Amino acid sequence: MSYEELSHTADVRMRIRAPTLDLLFSDAFLALMETVFGKDRSGGYKKELRIEAEDTETLLLDFLSEVLFICEVEGLVFSCADVITEGHVLTAVLDGETFDRSRHAEGTEVKGISYSGMAITKDTNGYMVDILFDV
Amino acid sequence: MIEGVKRTGTNEWEIPVGFIPGMRVPGRFFLSEALAATLELGAVQQLANVATMPGIINNSLGMPDIHWGYGFPIGGVGAFRLDEGVISPGGVGFDINCGVRLLTTPLAHKDVSGKKDLVDELFRRVPTGVGAKSSAKGSPKSLDGMMEKGARWAVESGYGTPRDLVRCEDTGAMMEADTRAVSEKARQRGIPQGGTLGSGNHFLEIQVVSEIYDAPAAKAFGIEAGQVCCMIHCGSRGLGHQVCTDHLKILEGAMKKYHIALPDRQLACAPIQSPEGKAYFGAMAASANYAWANRQMITHTVRQVLGKMFGIGYEDMPLVYDVAHNVAKMEEHLVDGKKTRVCVHRKGATRAFGPGSPDIPTDLSDIGQPVIIPGSMGTSSYVLRGTAIAMERTFGSTCHGAGRVMSRTQAKKRMSGKEVAANLAHQGIIVRAPNENAIADEAPDVYKPSNEVVGVVHDVGISRLVARLSPIGVIKG
């Protein structure tokens, strides 16, 4: 798991690094979940997801936006995700639980995932992306 | 100042065409010398990016609370020609019609001082924070009402008085709302959230009018020194967030179709007259209406709580005004000396129409539109009035708040939420929040001083100071 919050005046900007693209996606997902719900999250309830997009950045953005939608509408909080990307198609199994106000109100709502400055780069250490959550 | 930016007046700065490639007009922003020291390069670049958008008129504008956002900078204003211009969710943001309203009460400071139970009761009754659901039973039918009729739906459903409507920007509803352009996903998010505050910088504050600068205007607005007021700051909740997300994707695709290339993907846009542009505008207007209904529902709860606790009548807590600060509007402005309908984007900026405008309440026609500017938690908020200068220079726009200077990461490292709350309590300000981080994130000094920001808009003349309000009780979302 590798993500760190970078300085951004108004919003939450996360830098994600991972050895593979699949792990980059699941770490970005973890960064999002921690921002919204805090650290105290556990698993048990599984949810499957399939997303298709025109490029890798959009795939990441659509994936995280879909997760925000599921959490809000189904009242779920996820602890981790198993993500597989093949080209511009993503399949994921999310592991989580029902929202519990006494444990999951430690974060802040993310209104949306921004395209601003989002570019996935790859070097010898693996993949990296900076991603902005509007809070 | 950032290299390449020119000073053009005491509080005025210009980003010349050529600062970045493709600029069609200069960028222009309003900042005092002191505020200029905190300006980020990111914000200047974003203002320059906006200047590259097709159909932009005169300038890409930055208000004195300008700071680094996404797409447009926060505090950004851009007006576009209807024939060749574009419309972009990047000029509105995810929280469509995030806005502020102010209610007055017949209470004085001494009536409520030390009343912790008032803040506790408001915190209990108004759903706040992550995962908060409305106590009102939302349905697909009520959602349609909210999206089509805005605040009017709320008033007709028993959440207010007809007078509230004339005290809202656009009387609390944009007629252009098109619910067909709102996705099923957005609808699902919207149904359970009517009357909820949300989180982040959203708040509900009990304030006291601590200073009057313009007595005739204050009188016309119904504001008196020493009076207890309530300020509500929130937006269109998950519905608006989803509408922005959905239409950003549609407009990204449309950019290729209309051969538009821009320096930031978040500025995804389409010609105003295109099917994609019209669909976004219709869905955005529906979300804006939802936000007005939402603020109206919260107003109703506040009136119920205050009414019960202090024995005051519902009608004795009138609305001063309700302003939107994340929105795009079709408005008439003078362009090259001719009255022209244009599309004005305000992203963290407030409409500030001057005297004589047909779009403000008739009894305030000589004064100008009330402008509500929230301060940061623990600092003063302000009421101003719109001016003719704003009509001439900023498409009738002014600042929307204090504007952050410190990131959330820095804020949390520096002081815990407990310490911030204790400091505020020492000043006689009671704070309630769903968690400690929410307090640390929004500590007073992570923002520019609100007096400095409103001082600039007053000096530039794009709105004029009417009154100052000091907080005594804060509910953070």
Nearest of B213, B290, B202, B307 to residue B244 by alpha carbon:
B290
* pTM confidence score: 0.96
**The CATH number of domain A13-134 is 3.40.50.1970:** no
Q: At what angle do helices B275-310 and B237-257 cross, to 10 degrees?
A: 170
Given this model, what pLDDT does residue A64 score?
Answer: 98
CA angle in degrees (0–180, nearest 5) for B177-B151-B204: 120
Q: Say what the ipTM of the complex is.
A: 0.95
Sketch out chain B's domains with CATH numbers: 6-405+447-476 (3.90.1860.10)
Given this model, what pLDDT does residue B309 score?
Answer: 95
For A46-89, the DSSP string reads EEEEEEE-SSHHHHHHHHHHHHHHHHHHHTEEEEEEEEEEETTE
Q: Known catalytic residue: B241?
A: no
Interface test with B, best of A52, A63, A72, A97 (most B CBs within 10 A): A72
Nearest of B115, B120, B110 to residue B475 by alpha carbon:
B120
- Other beta carbons less than 10 A from residue B452's beta carbon: 17
Nearest of B437, B165, B118, B128 to residue B307 by alpha carbon:
B118
Residue range B391-413, pLDDT digits in tens: 999 999 999 998 778 887 888 78
CA distance B92 to B99: 12
Interface contact flag, B95 A111, Cβ < 8 Å: yes
CA distance B251 to B310: 51
Residue linked to tokens 């047909």: B358
Q: Are A113 and A65 in contact (CB under 8 A)?
A: yes
Q: Indicate the pairing of strand A3-6 with strand B27-30.
A: unpaired
* Residue pairs between chains A and B whose CB atoms are closer than 8 Å: 106
A41 lies within 8 A of chain B by CB = no
Indicate the residue of B131, B252, B265 with minimum beta-carbon distance to A99. B131
**DSSP 8-state code for residue B381:** E
Q: Indicate the pairing of strand B86-87 with strand B72-81.
A: unpaired
Q: What is the mean pLDDT of residues B214-220?
A: 98
B49 lies within 8 A of chain A by CB = no
Nearest of B273, B284, B268, B115 to residue B206 by alpha carbon:
B115
The pair of three-digit structure tokens given for residue A112, joined into one six-digit string: 């949306």
CA distance A128 to A79: 22
Residue linked to tokens 């970045």: B20
- Alpha-carbon torsion, ordered B253, B348, B94, A83, to 10 deg: 90
Given this model, what pLDDT does residue B201 score?
Answer: 87
User: Using 50, 70 and 90 to split pLDDT, how confident is the model at A1?
Assistant: low
CA distance B173 to B107: 30
Of B67, B400, B426, B458, catalytic: B400
CA distance B10 to B380: 25
Q: Does pLDDT of B440 surpass 90?
A: no
**DSSP 8-state code for residue A7:** P
User: Using 50, 70 and 90 to split pLDDT, how confident is the model at B117?
Assistant: very high
B60: burial class by Cβ within 10 Å (0-12, 13-18, 19+)?
buried
List all residues 6 or more positions away from B285 whose beta carbon is below 8 Å from its beta carbon. B174, B175, B176, B177, B178
Q: Which of chain B's residues have a Cβ under 8 Å away from the Cβ of A118?
A: 265
Candidate from A7-21, A32-46, B106-120, B437-451 with smallest mean pLDDT: B437-451
**A73: closest chain B residue by CA:** B189
Q: What is the mean pLDDT of residues B355-366?
A: 97
For B286-339, the DSSP string reads HHHHHHHHHHHHHHHHHHHHHHHHH---GGGS-EEEEEESEEEEEEEEEETTEE
Among A residues 77-96, those touching chain B with beta carbons less than 8 Å apart? none
CA distance B73 to B161: 36
Q: Are A25 and B56 in contact (CB under 8 A)?
A: no
B22: burial class by Cβ within 10 Å (0-12, 13-18, 19+)?
middle
CA distance B350 to B369: 11
Given this model, what pLDDT does residue B277 score?
Answer: 98
Candidate from A61-75, B119-133, B178-192, B295-309 with smallest mean pLDDT: B119-133
Nearest of B209, B250, B239, B4 to residue B108 by alpha carbon:
B209
CA distance A16 to A131: 8
The pair of three-digit structure tokens given for residue A13, joined into one six-digit string: 């900007």
CA angle in degrees (0–180, nearest 5) for B25-B258-B239: 90
CA distance A61 to A119: 11
Q: Which of chain B's residues have a Cβ under 8 Å away from the Cβ of A37?
A: 130
**B72: closest chain A residue by CA:** A116
- Other beta carbons less than 10 A from residue B250's beta carbon: 19
For B150-200, the DSSP string reads THHHHHHTTSS-HHHHHTBGGGG--TT--GGGS-HHHHHHHGGGTT---ST
Residue linked to tokens 């009138």: B318
Given this model, what pLDDT does residue B449 score?
Answer: 84
Given this model, what pLDDT does residue B415 score?
Answer: 84
How far is residue B14 from each of residues A55, B2, B17, measured CA to CA in Å?
Answer: 37, 11, 9
Domains of chain A: which residue ranges?
13-134
Q: Percent helix, strand and coil across chain B, each rounded to 5?
A: 40, 25, 35
Residue range A29-84, pLDDT digits in tens: 999 999 999 999 999 999 999 999 999 999 999 999 999 999 999 999 999 999 99
